[in-house]
Structure 1
């Protein structure tokens, strides 16, 4: 999974705040877009989530900001699956300035697989869990 980006985009001027760098709300949004690409690789596709009545919910999210991103910067996110449990996964997104190769921010998230009708956590299907286990990795230090 490390070799393929889970998000690619750019920083637009309207995403910058009064200090001139990308506002924190946009970091969260770009990390969220990477979530869905990561989930799809594990088999948690939109069609699976709709047809199975399942969903994913973030229960913890921690972001560390390392370098500024400015209007026009090209952004890439690479995701790393850190832990797979019966009903939850823990993963990290590294947001990289694609021009410089520097990590601009990283985010660690714990997500829970849910039964949407019961509003409770639910075990991953065996096939999804098996695929997820093949993606377990340790990211490079930031």
Structure 2
């Protein structure tokens, strides 16, 4: 299994709320950015997904805020896919400030949508393994 995927993101001033810390909705965007970067590292981009007739969907997201992020901070967002049985899988993400302080945890239930039938594919791990050039990045053995 591959190491946990990680992306560093710099906090931008326009992402702050009136309290001077990162707005809660931005954490979701950071998680989405890290997930897409993980897909790219696995060799899957939007063109590959469209060509395969599928796309990732988020069905549920839970965020636990631990510490605030402020202007000028950098945050490392990890992305780890947790595979099980059935049509859904989990994506677990930890947010660590560059100094190592945990600031948030994001957990999502996801699936892979068949873009024609508008239904979740039966085995998302198998489908992504088929189209990835490096499925290990997604926690999948080739």
Q: Is the 8 A contact 1:2 1:78 kept in 2?
A: no
Q: Which residue of 2 aligns with 1:78?
A: 78
Residue 88 of structure 1, CA deviation: 2.2
| TM-score normalised per structure 1 | 0.81
Q: Is the 8 A contact 2:5 2:137 kept in 1?
A: no
Q: Is the 8 A contact 2:42 2:138 kept in 1?
A: no
- How many residue pairs match? The answer is 134
Q: Which residue of 1 aligns with 2:102?
A: 103
Q: Which residue of 1 aligns with 2:62?
A: 62
Q: Which runs of 5+ in 1 are unaligned?
A: 137-142
Q: Which runs of 5+ in 2 are unaligned?
A: none
Q: Per-residue CA shift, 1:57-114, capped at 9, x if unaligned?
A: 111110000010000001111112223434322121111101x201111100111111
Alpha-carbon distance between aligned partners in 2 of 1:3 and 1:118, rounded to the nearest angstrom = 32
Q: Which residue of 2 aligns with 1:30?
A: 30
Residue 46 of structure 1, CA deviation: 2.0
Alpha-carbon distance between aligned partners in 2 of 1:121 and 1:132, rounded to the nearest angstrom = 22
Q: Which residue of 1 aligns with 2:114?
A: 115
- The structure with higher relative contact order (CA 8 Å, sep 6+) is 2
Q: Which residue of 2 aligns with 1:15?
A: 15
Q: Is the 8 A contact 2:39 2:138 kept in 1?
A: no
Alignment CA distance shift 1:125-1:90 (3 Å): closer
Alignment CA distance shift 1:103-1:12 (3 Å): same
Q: How does 1:45-60 map to 2 (within 5 A)?
A: 45-60=45-60
Q: Is the 8 A contact 2:64 2:106 kept in 1?
A: yes
Q: Which residue of 2 aligns with 1:88?
A: 88
State the Cα RMSD in Å. Answer: 2.4
Residue 37 of structure 1, CA deviation: 1.9
